[in-house]
Amino acid sequence: MMPDVSIIVPTYNEAPNIAELVSRIERAMHDPFEIIFVDDSTDDTAHQIEHAALSARMPVRLIRRTHPHGGLAGAVTEGLAAATSKWCVVMDGDLQHPPEAIPVLLQRAADTRADVVVGSRHVPGGSSTGLSGPLRRAISEASTVVTRAMFPTRLRDCADPMSGFFAVRREAVDLSLLKPRGFKILLEILVRNRLTVAEAPFTFGERHAGQSKASLREGFWFLWQLALLRFGRLSGFAVIGALGAVANLVIMAALQAINVWYVSAAIIAAVLTIIGNFVLLERFVFHDLRTEGRLLTRFAQSFTYNGLETLVRTGALWAIVALTAVPSILTQAVLLGIGFVLRFVYHSRVVYRPEPGLTPQRTSAVTSGSIPTARNSSVR
């Protein structure tokens, strides 16, 4: 029998919480369901899940990721891809999301016919008392306000886009559009899909056992996610370009401080920043478009292009300043602006061009890292 609901639980070192979670879900649920754990743990969480599966009355599946990709958000996306039910409920494994609220979410889904029902801490009846400490609470509140302001339309009906507790109609979400990273998978789903949203209040409780994995690193990923969602790849490209410009000046100043001739210093700084830029672009901006085995080609293309661009730009600067009355700083600013756009176009269209033969749709499905393959996960 196909379950009505797939309950997707991402886990990272939640061993002491598994048994309690499964038994509370079983007590809370009346209709048929399955639980899909997507586990990246280094402790014996997987063993606890297998153990709980033996005595559970409903199917408990384990996706053990041997090559975890995309952290919590990546895990949820793999769970959604593996689910067969019409509705999926995503919840944490530490009991901060009360299993008793699952039927409430599903009932609200049935009442409203929405695509997504968000378990919300910010509607009447909801609360986030379990969020540890006033600082984390303040950060959470502030980021919610900013995020809603950045996506006024998509988040119009969602007071708590940072929630990790939600029910979603599986078919309403195009997983190939998602670029899961970090903690905020609901935000990713809501912004990249056009969905009708309803909310149901819940109380975000205390952690049952174990430790939170939220960290400053996740905070960084969240800001990065916001930038990419709002401005696309171009914003990542711009941030890295700006960092490169600053690094260039710092390196040049440092070299001159140890008496390197300024032209040599400029060349060394350019080479180093071009390499640094390439590494950062590979890692952060075009990570989903890298194709295996072409690293050296990409590097050669990027390096040659940037080197030539610097030469041409500097030549143009010299010529314009020598032959016209345009001030050098203004000229350089315009040239840098044109250079930036051309560099972006070149990198998107040439260095990181999508594989030939694949339609764009297919390319993003393959590269989102969200579809479990036999190689990186075992589904049982």
Ligand X SMILES: Nc1nc2c(ncn2[C@@H]2O[C@H](COP(=O)(O)OP(=O)(O)O)[C@@H](O)[C@H]2O)c(=O)[nH]1
For ligand X, the binding residues (CB under 6 A) are: 10-12, 14, 38-40, 68, 71-72, 75, 92-94, 96, 164, 212-214
3-state secondary structure of 73: helix
Q: How far is the CB of 271 from ligand X (least distance, A)?
A: 36
Binding residues with Mg ion: total (CB under 5 A): 3
CA distance 312 to 271: 15
CA distance 258 to 130: 55
Element (H, E) at 10: strand 5-11
Applying the rule CB under 5 A, the residues between 48 and 87 that interact with Mg ion are: none
CA distance 344 to 337: 11
Q: Are strands 166-169 and 87-90 parallel, antiparallel or unpaired?
A: antiparallel
70: left (phi over 0), alpha (psi -120 to 50) or beta: left
Which residues lie below 8 Å from residue 87, measured CB to CB, with a gap of 6+?
4, 5, 6, 106, 109, 167, 168, 169, 170
14 binds, among Mg ion, ligand X, none (CB under 5 to 8 A by kind): ligand X
Q: Are strands 5-11 and 33-39 parallel, antiparallel or unpaired?
A: parallel
Q: How far is the CB of 174 from ligand X (least distance, A)?
A: 22
213 binds, among Mg ion, ligand X, none (CB under 5 to 8 A by kind): ligand X
- The total of other beta-carbon atoms located within 10 Å of residue 355's CB is 12
Q: How far is the CB of 216 from ligand X (least distance, A)?
A: 13
236 binds, among Mg ion, ligand X, none (CB under 5 to 8 A by kind): none
Please select the residue that binds Mg ion; options are 94, 115, 188, 282, rule is CB under 5 A.
Answer: 94
Q: Which is nearer to ligand X, 48 or 96 (CB)?
A: 96
372 binds, among Mg ion, ligand X, none (CB under 5 to 8 A by kind): none
Q: Which is nearer to ligand X, 183 or 278 (CB)?
A: 183
Q: How far is the CB of 40 from ligand X (least distance, A)?
A: 4
Please select the residue that binds Mg ion; options are 17, 96, 120, 225, rule is CB under 5 A.
Answer: 96
Q: What is the DSSP letter of 151?
A: S
Q: Which is nearer to ligand X, 74 or 354 (CB)?
A: 74
Q: How far is the CB of 379 from ligand X (least distance, A)?
A: 14
Asked whether position 17 contacts Mg ion by CB under 5 A, the answer is no
378 binds, among Mg ion, ligand X, none (CB under 5 to 8 A by kind): none
Q: What is the dihedral of CA 202, 205, 208, 213, to 10 degrees?
A: 100
Q: Closest Cα to residue 90, out of 180, 168, 198?
A: 168
Asked whether position 13 contacts Mg ion by CB under 5 A, the answer is no
CA distance 182 to 187: 11
Q: How far is the CB of 12 from ligand X (least distance, A)?
A: 4
Q: How far is the CB of 206 from ligand X (least distance, A)?
A: 10
- The total of other beta-carbon atoms located within 10 Å of residue 376's CB is 16
Question: Which residues lie near Mg ion (CB under 5 A)?
Answer: 92, 94, 96
